[in-house]
Amino acid sequence: MVSNKQVVLRDYAEGSPKDSDMEVITNNTIIALKVPGGSDAVLVKNLYLSCDPYMGNLMHKFDAPTGFTSYTPGSVITGYGVCKVMDSGHPNFNKGDLVWGTTGWEEYSLITKPEDLFKIDHTDVPLSYYTGILGMPGMTAHYGFYEKCAPKEGEYVFVSAAAGAVGQLVGQFAKLMGCYVVGSAGSQEKVDKLKEKLGFDAAFNYKEEHDLNAALKRCFPEGIDIYFDNVGGKTLDAVLLNMRNNGRIALCGMVSQYTLEQPEGVKNLMNVVTKRVRMEGFVVFDYYPFYSKFVEKVLPHIREGKISYVEDIVEGLESGPSTLAGLFSGRNIGKQVVTVAHD
Protein backbone atom coordinates (compact mmCIF):
# COMPACT_ATOMS: atom_id res chain seq x y z
CA MET A 1 0.00 0.00 0.00
CA VAL A 2 1.36 3.41 -1.03
CA SER A 3 -0.03 6.92 -1.00
CA ASN A 4 -1.33 8.04 -4.36
CA LYS A 5 -1.18 11.71 -5.25
CA GLN A 6 -4.14 12.70 -7.46
CA VAL A 7 -5.50 15.61 -9.52
CA VAL A 8 -9.19 15.94 -8.77
CA LEU A 9 -11.85 18.13 -10.42
CA ARG A 10 -13.00 20.51 -7.70
CA ASP A 11 -16.08 21.67 -9.58
CA TYR A 12 -17.25 22.11 -13.17
CA ALA A 13 -15.38 24.87 -14.97
CA GLU A 14 -17.15 28.01 -16.09
CA GLY A 15 -15.70 29.33 -19.33
CA SER A 16 -12.05 28.57 -19.86
CA PRO A 17 -10.81 25.91 -17.38
CA LYS A 18 -8.72 27.38 -14.60
CA ASP A 19 -6.05 25.99 -12.38
CA SER A 20 -8.44 26.46 -9.42
CA ASP A 21 -11.06 24.19 -10.97
CA MET A 22 -8.74 21.32 -10.00
CA GLU A 23 -6.85 20.41 -6.87
CA VAL A 24 -3.94 18.12 -6.07
CA ILE A 25 -4.72 15.71 -3.24
CA THR A 26 -1.59 14.41 -1.63
CA ASN A 27 -2.49 12.57 1.57
CA ASN A 28 -5.99 11.27 1.36
CA THR A 29 -5.61 8.32 -0.92
CA ILE A 30 -3.73 5.12 -0.68
CA ILE A 31 -3.63 2.35 -3.21
CA ALA A 32 -2.46 -1.25 -3.20
CA LEU A 33 0.12 -1.96 -5.88
CA LYS A 34 -1.68 -5.22 -6.61
CA VAL A 35 -4.63 -6.05 -8.82
CA PRO A 36 -7.59 -7.39 -6.77
CA GLY A 37 -7.66 -11.20 -6.89
CA GLY A 38 -9.76 -12.63 -9.74
CA SER A 39 -9.91 -9.30 -11.63
CA ASP A 40 -8.50 -8.87 -15.14
CA ALA A 41 -7.51 -5.27 -14.40
CA VAL A 42 -3.95 -3.96 -14.53
CA LEU A 43 -2.26 -1.70 -12.00
CA VAL A 44 -0.02 0.88 -13.62
CA LYS A 45 2.45 3.51 -12.58
CA ASN A 46 1.80 6.69 -14.57
CA LEU A 47 4.89 8.16 -16.21
CA TYR A 48 3.69 10.84 -18.66
CA LEU A 49 0.27 12.47 -18.79
CA SER A 50 -1.09 14.14 -21.89
CA CYS A 51 -2.89 17.52 -21.89
CA ASP A 52 -5.45 17.51 -24.69
CA PRO A 53 -8.09 20.06 -25.74
CA TYR A 54 -10.99 17.59 -25.36
CA MET A 55 -10.26 17.56 -21.61
CA GLY A 56 -11.45 21.16 -21.39
CA ASN A 57 -14.77 19.96 -22.70
CA LEU A 58 -15.01 17.27 -20.05
CA MET A 59 -14.44 19.83 -17.31
CA HIS A 60 -17.77 21.41 -18.22
CA LYS A 61 -21.12 19.93 -17.36
CA PHE A 62 -22.81 18.83 -20.56
CA ASP A 63 -25.37 16.31 -21.55
CA ALA A 64 -25.18 16.28 -25.33
CA PRO A 65 -25.14 12.73 -26.64
CA THR A 66 -21.60 12.99 -27.97
CA GLY A 67 -20.24 9.73 -26.66
CA PHE A 68 -18.23 11.66 -24.08
CA THR A 69 -19.00 12.00 -20.36
CA SER A 70 -18.03 14.98 -18.22
CA TYR A 71 -15.60 14.51 -15.37
CA THR A 72 -17.21 14.14 -11.93
CA PRO A 73 -16.47 16.81 -9.31
CA GLY A 74 -14.49 15.26 -6.47
CA SER A 75 -13.09 12.51 -8.70
CA VAL A 76 -9.70 12.14 -10.30
CA ILE A 77 -9.57 13.46 -13.84
CA THR A 78 -8.61 11.12 -16.65
CA GLY A 79 -6.67 11.46 -19.85
CA TYR A 80 -4.15 9.78 -22.08
CA GLY A 81 -0.91 8.70 -20.47
CA VAL A 82 2.15 6.52 -20.80
CA CYS A 83 2.31 3.96 -18.00
CA LYS A 84 4.33 1.03 -16.69
CA VAL A 85 2.49 -2.11 -15.66
CA MET A 86 3.14 -2.92 -11.97
CA ASP A 87 0.74 -5.86 -11.70
CA SER A 88 -1.63 -7.53 -14.14
CA GLY A 89 -4.64 -9.79 -13.94
CA HIS A 90 -4.94 -9.73 -17.73
CA PRO A 91 -3.27 -12.37 -19.91
CA ASN A 92 -2.10 -9.79 -22.48
CA PHE A 93 -0.15 -7.66 -20.01
CA ASN A 94 2.82 -8.44 -17.81
CA LYS A 95 4.62 -6.60 -15.05
CA GLY A 96 7.11 -4.22 -16.62
CA ASP A 97 5.18 -3.69 -19.88
CA LEU A 98 4.99 -0.14 -21.15
CA VAL A 99 1.57 0.93 -22.39
CA TRP A 100 -0.35 4.04 -23.39
CA GLY A 101 -4.04 4.81 -23.16
CA THR A 102 -6.60 6.37 -20.88
CA THR A 103 -5.45 6.54 -17.29
CA GLY A 104 -5.97 8.68 -14.19
CA TRP A 105 -4.15 11.88 -13.30
CA GLU A 106 -2.47 10.23 -10.30
CA GLU A 107 0.67 8.34 -9.49
CA TYR A 108 -0.85 4.88 -9.81
CA SER A 109 -4.03 3.77 -11.55
CA LEU A 110 -6.06 0.61 -11.54
CA ILE A 111 -7.21 0.17 -15.12
CA THR A 112 -10.28 -2.02 -15.31
CA LYS A 113 -10.54 -2.20 -19.12
CA PRO A 114 -6.92 -2.94 -20.04
CA GLU A 115 -7.96 -4.21 -23.49
CA ASP A 116 -8.24 -0.52 -24.49
CA LEU A 117 -4.52 0.06 -23.73
CA PHE A 118 -1.91 0.05 -26.47
CA LYS A 119 1.39 -1.73 -25.92
CA ILE A 120 4.57 0.22 -26.50
CA ASP A 121 6.98 -1.91 -28.51
CA HIS A 122 9.57 0.68 -29.49
CA THR A 123 11.58 2.50 -26.83
CA ASP A 124 14.33 3.99 -28.99
CA VAL A 125 12.23 7.18 -29.14
CA PRO A 126 11.24 9.31 -26.13
CA LEU A 127 8.50 7.57 -24.15
CA SER A 128 6.59 10.87 -23.98
CA TYR A 129 6.08 10.58 -27.76
CA TYR A 130 3.34 8.05 -27.00
CA THR A 131 1.22 10.93 -25.68
CA GLY A 132 1.83 12.77 -28.95
CA ILE A 133 3.31 11.84 -32.28
CA LEU A 134 3.01 8.09 -31.56
CA GLY A 135 -0.27 8.36 -29.66
CA MET A 136 -3.72 9.85 -30.08
CA PRO A 137 -2.61 13.21 -31.58
CA GLY A 138 -0.33 11.46 -34.05
CA MET A 139 -3.14 9.23 -35.27
CA THR A 140 -5.46 12.24 -35.41
CA ALA A 141 -3.05 14.12 -37.66
CA HIS A 142 -2.25 11.11 -39.81
CA TYR A 143 -5.75 9.81 -40.53
CA GLY A 144 -7.34 13.25 -40.56
CA PHE A 145 -4.85 14.47 -43.12
CA TYR A 146 -4.36 11.45 -45.35
CA GLU A 147 -7.89 10.04 -45.21
CA LYS A 148 -10.11 13.11 -44.87
CA CYS A 149 -8.08 15.72 -46.75
CA ALA A 150 -7.09 13.42 -49.65
CA PRO A 151 -4.00 15.58 -50.32
CA LYS A 152 -2.24 15.84 -53.66
CA GLU A 153 1.24 17.13 -54.41
CA GLY A 154 1.39 20.88 -54.89
CA GLU A 155 -1.86 21.67 -53.12
CA TYR A 156 -2.29 24.67 -50.80
CA VAL A 157 -2.78 23.57 -47.19
CA PHE A 158 -3.78 25.63 -44.17
CA VAL A 159 -3.55 24.35 -40.58
CA SER A 160 -4.89 26.16 -37.50
CA ALA A 161 -3.48 25.60 -34.01
CA ALA A 162 -0.48 24.65 -36.10
CA ALA A 163 2.03 24.63 -33.25
CA GLY A 164 -0.07 22.21 -31.23
CA ALA A 165 0.18 18.46 -30.76
CA VAL A 166 -1.75 17.69 -33.96
CA GLY A 167 -1.17 20.76 -36.13
CA GLN A 168 2.62 20.53 -36.20
CA LEU A 169 2.32 16.99 -37.60
CA VAL A 170 -0.32 17.85 -40.20
CA GLY A 171 2.00 20.55 -41.51
CA GLN A 172 4.94 18.17 -41.71
CA PHE A 173 2.89 15.42 -43.37
CA ALA A 174 1.73 17.99 -45.90
CA LYS A 175 5.31 19.07 -46.61
CA LEU A 176 6.30 15.40 -47.10
CA MET A 177 3.49 15.25 -49.73
CA GLY A 178 4.94 18.27 -51.55
CA CYS A 179 2.20 20.70 -50.52
CA TYR A 180 2.50 24.40 -49.76
CA VAL A 181 1.71 24.77 -46.04
CA VAL A 182 0.72 27.74 -43.92
CA GLY A 183 -0.08 27.56 -40.21
CA SER A 184 -1.73 29.89 -37.74
CA ALA A 185 -0.81 30.04 -34.07
CA GLY A 186 -1.21 32.39 -31.13
CA SER A 187 2.26 33.88 -30.53
CA GLN A 188 5.32 35.08 -32.40
CA GLU A 189 7.38 32.37 -30.73
CA LYS A 190 5.06 29.70 -32.12
CA VAL A 191 5.09 31.31 -35.57
CA ASP A 192 8.90 31.27 -35.55
CA LYS A 193 8.92 27.62 -34.52
CA LEU A 194 6.59 26.72 -37.38
CA LYS A 195 8.79 28.40 -39.96
CA GLU A 196 12.21 27.64 -38.54
CA LYS A 197 11.91 24.22 -37.00
CA LEU A 198 8.82 22.59 -38.51
CA GLY A 199 9.27 23.50 -42.16
CA PHE A 200 6.02 25.44 -42.73
CA ASP A 201 6.25 27.71 -45.78
CA ALA A 202 4.57 30.53 -43.90
CA ALA A 203 2.77 31.17 -40.63
CA PHE A 204 0.91 33.97 -38.91
CA ASN A 205 -0.14 34.95 -35.40
CA TYR A 206 -3.94 35.08 -35.53
CA LYS A 207 -4.01 37.30 -32.45
CA GLU A 208 -2.18 40.02 -34.39
CA GLU A 209 -4.45 39.87 -37.44
CA HIS A 210 -7.54 42.05 -37.14
CA ASP A 211 -8.86 40.61 -40.42
CA LEU A 212 -8.42 36.86 -40.79
CA ASN A 213 -9.83 36.92 -44.31
CA ALA A 214 -7.14 39.40 -45.35
CA ALA A 215 -4.43 37.33 -43.63
CA LEU A 216 -5.52 34.25 -45.55
CA LYS A 217 -5.71 36.14 -48.84
CA ARG A 218 -2.15 37.36 -48.23
CA CYS A 219 -0.88 33.83 -47.52
CA PHE A 220 -2.98 32.12 -50.19
CA PRO A 221 -3.40 34.43 -53.18
CA GLU A 222 -4.56 31.35 -55.15
CA GLY A 223 -6.87 30.10 -52.41
CA ILE A 224 -6.85 27.06 -50.13
CA ASP A 225 -7.23 23.45 -51.27
CA ILE A 226 -7.09 21.84 -47.85
CA TYR A 227 -7.93 23.18 -44.41
CA PHE A 228 -7.20 21.08 -41.35
CA ASP A 229 -9.41 22.73 -38.77
CA ASN A 230 -8.52 22.48 -35.10
CA VAL A 231 -10.30 25.62 -33.94
CA GLY A 232 -13.66 26.23 -35.68
CA GLY A 233 -15.44 29.58 -35.27
CA LYS A 234 -14.11 32.76 -36.90
CA THR A 235 -11.09 31.04 -38.45
CA LEU A 236 -13.28 28.47 -40.17
CA ASP A 237 -15.57 31.23 -41.38
CA ALA A 238 -12.66 33.17 -42.90
CA VAL A 239 -11.25 30.03 -44.51
CA LEU A 240 -14.60 29.36 -46.22
CA LEU A 241 -14.20 32.65 -48.08
CA ASN A 242 -10.84 31.47 -49.40
CA MET A 243 -11.47 27.89 -50.44
CA ARG A 244 -10.73 26.78 -53.97
CA ASN A 245 -13.05 24.66 -56.06
CA ASN A 246 -13.20 21.05 -54.86
CA GLY A 247 -11.41 21.93 -51.61
CA ARG A 248 -11.50 19.74 -48.54
CA ILE A 249 -11.87 20.68 -44.89
CA ALA A 250 -11.15 18.15 -42.16
CA LEU A 251 -12.96 19.14 -38.98
CA CYS A 252 -10.80 17.77 -36.21
CA GLY A 253 -11.97 19.84 -33.27
CA MET A 254 -13.08 23.36 -32.42
CA VAL A 255 -10.90 24.47 -29.52
CA SER A 256 -11.92 28.13 -29.96
CA GLN A 257 -15.50 27.11 -29.16
CA TYR A 258 -15.20 24.75 -26.20
CA THR A 259 -15.20 27.39 -23.53
CA LEU A 260 -17.89 29.67 -24.99
CA GLU A 261 -21.39 29.72 -23.56
CA GLN A 262 -22.77 29.58 -27.12
CA PRO A 263 -20.75 28.54 -30.15
CA GLU A 264 -20.10 31.27 -32.71
CA GLY A 265 -22.21 31.07 -35.85
CA VAL A 266 -20.45 30.20 -39.09
CA LYS A 267 -21.90 32.42 -41.80
CA ASN A 268 -20.06 31.55 -44.98
CA LEU A 269 -21.28 28.02 -45.63
CA MET A 270 -22.74 29.06 -48.99
CA ASN A 271 -19.12 28.90 -50.19
CA VAL A 272 -19.22 25.16 -49.52
CA VAL A 273 -21.90 24.95 -52.21
CA THR A 274 -20.41 27.26 -54.83
CA LYS A 275 -16.85 25.92 -54.39
CA ARG A 276 -17.94 22.27 -54.18
CA VAL A 277 -16.18 21.85 -50.86
CA ARG A 278 -16.16 18.65 -48.84
CA MET A 279 -16.21 19.23 -45.07
CA GLU A 280 -15.77 16.17 -42.99
CA GLY A 281 -15.64 15.53 -39.27
CA PHE A 282 -13.81 12.59 -37.79
CA VAL A 283 -13.02 11.00 -34.47
CA VAL A 284 -9.65 9.38 -33.96
CA PHE A 285 -11.09 6.44 -31.99
CA ASP A 286 -12.40 5.02 -35.25
CA TYR A 287 -8.80 4.52 -36.39
CA TYR A 288 -7.47 2.83 -33.24
CA PRO A 289 -7.74 -0.65 -34.79
CA PHE A 290 -5.06 0.49 -37.26
CA TYR A 291 -2.57 1.59 -34.60
CA SER A 292 0.20 -0.85 -35.46
CA LYS A 293 -0.02 0.11 -39.16
CA PHE A 294 0.21 3.74 -38.14
CA VAL A 295 3.35 3.11 -36.07
CA GLU A 296 4.94 1.28 -38.98
CA LYS A 297 4.39 4.33 -41.17
CA VAL A 298 5.42 7.09 -38.78
CA LEU A 299 8.25 5.53 -36.78
CA PRO A 300 10.65 5.43 -39.76
CA HIS A 301 10.04 9.15 -40.39
CA ILE A 302 10.99 9.89 -36.79
CA ARG A 303 14.07 7.66 -36.90
CA GLU A 304 15.24 9.18 -40.18
CA GLY A 305 14.70 12.71 -38.87
CA LYS A 306 12.09 13.51 -41.54
CA ILE A 307 9.60 14.57 -38.92
CA SER A 308 10.36 16.40 -35.70
CA TYR A 309 8.11 16.77 -32.75
CA VAL A 310 8.03 19.73 -30.42
CA GLU A 311 7.03 18.91 -26.86
CA ASP A 312 6.43 21.14 -23.87
CA ILE A 313 7.16 18.94 -20.89
CA VAL A 314 6.42 20.06 -17.33
CA GLU A 315 7.73 18.11 -14.35
CA GLY A 316 5.53 16.83 -11.54
CA LEU A 317 1.89 15.98 -10.98
CA GLU A 318 1.65 19.07 -8.72
CA SER A 319 2.02 21.16 -11.88
CA GLY A 320 -0.87 19.29 -13.49
CA PRO A 321 -3.70 21.77 -12.86
CA SER A 322 -1.81 24.87 -14.01
CA THR A 323 -0.31 23.04 -16.97
CA LEU A 324 -3.65 21.73 -18.16
CA ALA A 325 -5.31 25.13 -17.64
CA GLY A 326 -2.46 26.69 -19.64
CA LEU A 327 -3.44 24.64 -22.68
CA PHE A 328 -6.63 26.71 -22.97
CA SER A 329 -4.79 30.00 -22.97
CA GLY A 330 -2.29 28.60 -25.47
CA ARG A 331 0.67 28.84 -23.08
CA ASN A 332 2.30 25.66 -24.39
CA ILE A 333 4.45 25.41 -27.49
CA GLY A 334 4.02 21.98 -28.99
CA LYS A 335 2.61 18.93 -27.31
CA GLN A 336 1.87 19.60 -23.64
CA VAL A 337 3.00 16.77 -21.36
CA VAL A 338 3.17 16.41 -17.59
CA THR A 339 5.81 14.06 -16.23
CA VAL A 340 4.73 12.08 -13.18
CA ALA A 341 7.73 9.75 -13.05
CA HIS A 342 10.57 8.93 -15.43
CA ASP A 343 10.41 5.16 -15.04
Q: What is the DSSP letter of 242?
A: T
DSSP 296-318: HHHHHHHHTTSS---EEEEE-GG
Cβ closer to a second copy: 237 or 312?
237
Q: Which of 17, 167, 253, 320 binds a second copy (CB under 8 A)?
A: 253
Name residues whose C-beta falls within 8 Å of residue 149's C-beta, 6 or more positions apart in sequence. Answer: 157, 226, 228, 248, 250
Q: Which of 153, 222, 262, 343 binds a second copy (CB under 8 A)?
A: 262
Q: Which of 113, 152, 276, 303 binds a second copy (CB under 8 A)?
A: 276
Pairing between β-strand 180-185 and β-strand 156-159 as defined by DSSP bridges: parallel
Q: How far is the CB of 212 from a second copy (least distance, A)?
A: 15
CA distances from 59 to 22, 68, 72, 231, 343 (A): 9, 11, 8, 18, 29
Q: Which of 40, 201, 209, 280 binds a second copy (CB under 8 A)?
A: 280
**Residues 57 to 86 in contact with a second copy, rule: CB under 8 A:** 66-68
3-state DSSP call for residue 1? coil
For position 281 contacting a second copy by CB under 8 A, the verdict is: yes
3-state DSSP call for residue 293? helix
Dist. CA 161–CA 228, nearest whole Å: 9
Q: How far is the CB of 281 from a second copy (least distance, A)?
A: 4
Q: How far is the CB of 237 from a second copy (least distance, A)?
A: 8
CA distances from 264 to 183, 185, 231, 280 (A): 22, 19, 11, 19
**Residues 207 to 246 in contact with a second copy, rule: CB under 8 A:** 232, 236
Binding mask 282-311 for a second copy (x = CB under 8 A): xx--x-------------------------
For position 274 contacting a second copy by CB under 8 A, the verdict is: yes
DSSP 26-48: -SS-EE-SSPPTT---EEEEEEE
Q: How far is the CB of 183 from a second copy (least distance, A)?
A: 20
Q: What is the DSSP letter of 63?
A: -
CA distances from 331 to 79, 151, 164, 334 (A): 19, 31, 11, 10
Dist. CA 259–CA 308, nearest whole Å: 30
- The interface region with a second copy, picked from 149-157, 188-196, 199-207, 249-257 by CB under 8 A, is 249-257
For position 263 contacting a second copy by CB under 8 A, the verdict is: yes
- The interface region with a second copy, picked from 11-19, 33-41, 170-178, 276-284 by CB under 8 A, is 276-284
Q: Which of 13, 44, 157, 277 binds a second copy (CB under 8 A)?
A: 277
- The interface region with a second copy, picked from 151-159, 165-173, 196-204, 265-273 by CB under 8 A, is 265-273
Cβ closer to a second copy: 1 or 273?
273
Cβ closer to a second copy: 32 or 260?
260
CB atoms within 10 A of CB 164: 33
For position 167 contacting a second copy by CB under 8 A, the verdict is: no
Q: How many residues bind a second copy (CB under 8 A)?
A: 33
Query: Footprint of a second copy on this chain (CB under 8 A)?
Result: 66-68, 232, 236, 251-254, 257, 262-283, 286
